[in-house]
């Protein structure tokens, strides 16, 4: 039903911009993109889309955003990489207002389907203490011990989606994103995530001739990183699936931060001296996605190799630095 109105909240952001682009590519004719930022600060802006500047922490703005909508993708949140979420816990918690008022507006206008972008930060900290982490299953979110601030807000909003589905009949779908990266997104300024930060640092080292890089932590912490194209595909598959409970959406290709630097150095054709900042925010010691359930439910899981995604990401960030373009707001 390509003429139904689809709302993408956070449409000016990294994931939201890529999602709007893909919906247009698929032939959807009525899309409303909403973001708090002025449109000149959006990562991607499409003139054929209804683009609204709204503060979705406000109930009345959520009602403006959702009036007439058939489907809603709620990607809106005040967030960033580990450096941001560890130092802005109150701001991250305030994102609960967004999903609260969005769900209330969805009930008011009888929205057919509502997707909520959660995070792997909901997972219990005691299951992520070792770099040799066991991949996180969906059940590992409980007993609850999520990332302070950001993770608690995400876990609470997951439950809100569940209860709005149970009590008011809204079809809600929830995906737990694991470290999404790619081009056309934040790469500097404090909100960027590890892949973009490493690509930027390597590119700057190459361009400046100062062959040195600072790494947060000891470099042994492990993560999985999901390329944006897999995230956009998985988001839409989950939205239109019969999956009731929150589900992982992430790569299960585990890598150390040192290994991440190795890959980007190989792409750049350079070898750098490494300085380890042990006092910098580094998050949990290990986190990986268990994709057993998504494979069983969808017959699919994110599969774009990290080296392939980083090659595209590094090339884009390198060009941004070379051109002297400032990094847009997150």
Which pLDDT does position 190 carry in this prediction? Answer: 84
Q: Which residues contact 297 (CB under 8 A, 6 or more apart)?
A: 241, 243, 247
* CB atoms closer than 10 angstroms to residue 194: 22
Which pLDDT does position 131 carry in this prediction? Answer: 84
Which pLDDT does position 311 carry in this prediction? Answer: 98
* Average pLDDT estimate for 62-75: 98
Which pLDDT does position 329 carry in this prediction? Answer: 55
Which pLDDT does position 288 carry in this prediction? Answer: 95
Span of 16-30, 80-94, 166-180, 226-240 with lowest mean pLDDT? 80-94
Distance CA 118, CA 236 (A): 14
* CB atoms closer than 10 angstroms to residue 278: 9
Does pLDDT of 82 surpass 80? Answer: no
Indicate the pairing of strand 254-256 with strand 222-224: antiparallel
Span of 79-88, 216-225, 261-270, 306-315 with lowest mean pLDDT? 79-88
Q: What is the pLDDT of residues 130-165, one digit of tens each?
A: 888 889 999 999 999 998 899 999 999 999 999 999
pTM of the predicted protein model: 0.95
Q: What is the pLDDT of residues 210-261, one digit of tens each?
A: 999 999 999 999 999 999 999 999 999 999 999 999 999 999 999 999 999 9
* CB atoms closer than 10 angstroms to residue 189: 13
Active site residue 150: yes
Which pLDDT does position 80 carry in this prediction? Answer: 72
Half-sphere exposure of 306 (CA within 13 A, CB side): 23
Are the C-beta atoms of 7 and 71 separated by less than 8 Å? yes
Does pLDDT of 169 surpass 80? Answer: yes
- Position with higher pLDDT, 200 vs 130: 200
Does pLDDT of 330 surpass 60? Answer: no
Among 73, 150, 181, 318, the one annotated catalytic? 150
Span of 125-139, 173-187, 195-209, 264-278 with lowest mean pLDDT? 125-139
Residue 326: pLDDT band (50, 70, 90) is confident
Which pLDDT does position 189 carry in this prediction? Answer: 87
Residue 79: pLDDT band (50, 70, 90) is confident
Quick one: which H or E segment has residue 255?
strand 254-256
With CA atoms as reference, report the closest residue to 85 among 18, 161, 147: 147
Are the C-beta atoms of 118 and 60 separated by less than 8 Å? no
Distance CA 206, CA 212 (A): 9
Q: What is the pLDDT of residues 279-294, one digit of tens each?
A: 887 778 889 999 999 9
């Amino acid at each position: 039903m390509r003429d139904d109105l689809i709302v993408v909240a956070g449409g000016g952001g990294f994931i939201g911009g890529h999602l709007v682009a893909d919906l247009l590519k698929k032939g959807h004719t009525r899309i409303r993109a909403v973001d708090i930022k002025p449109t000149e600060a959006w990562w991607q802006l499409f003139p054929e889309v209804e683009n609204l500047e709204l503060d979705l922490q406000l109930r009345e703005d959520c009602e403006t955003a959702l009036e007439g909508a058939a489907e809603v993708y709620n990607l809106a949140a005040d967030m960033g990489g580990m450096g941001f979420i560890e130092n802005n816990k109150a701001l991250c918690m305030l994102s609960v207002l967004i999903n609260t008022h969005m769900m209330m507006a969805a009930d008011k206008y009888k929205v057919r389907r509502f997707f909520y972008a959660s995070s792997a930060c909901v997972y219990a900290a005691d299951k992520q203490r070792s770099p040799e982490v066991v991949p996180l299953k969906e059940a590992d979110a409980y007993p609850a011990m999520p990332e302070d601030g950001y993770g608690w807000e995400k876990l609470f909003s997951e439950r809100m989606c569940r209860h709005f589905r149970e009590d008011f009949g809204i079809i809600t779908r929830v995906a737990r994103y694991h470290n999404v990266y790619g081009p056309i997104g934040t790469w500097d300024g404090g909100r960027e995530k590890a892949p973009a930060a490493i690509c930027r640092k390597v590119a700057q080292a190459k361009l400046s001739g100062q062959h040195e890089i600072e790494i947060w932590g000891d470099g042994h912490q492990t993560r999985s990183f999901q390329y944006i194209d897999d995230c956009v595909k998985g988001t839409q598959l989950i939205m239109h699936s019969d999956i009731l409970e929150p589900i992982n959406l992430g790569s299960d290709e585990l890598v150390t931060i040192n290994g991440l630097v190795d890959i980007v150095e190989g792409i750049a054709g350079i070898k750098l001296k490494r300085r380890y900042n042990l006092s910098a925010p580094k998050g949990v010691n290990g986190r990986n996605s268990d994709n057993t359930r998504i494979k069983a439910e969808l017959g699919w899981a994110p599969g774009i190799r990290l080296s392939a995604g980083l090659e595209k990401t590094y090339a884009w960030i390198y060009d941004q630095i070379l051109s002297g373009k400032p990094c847009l707001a997150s």
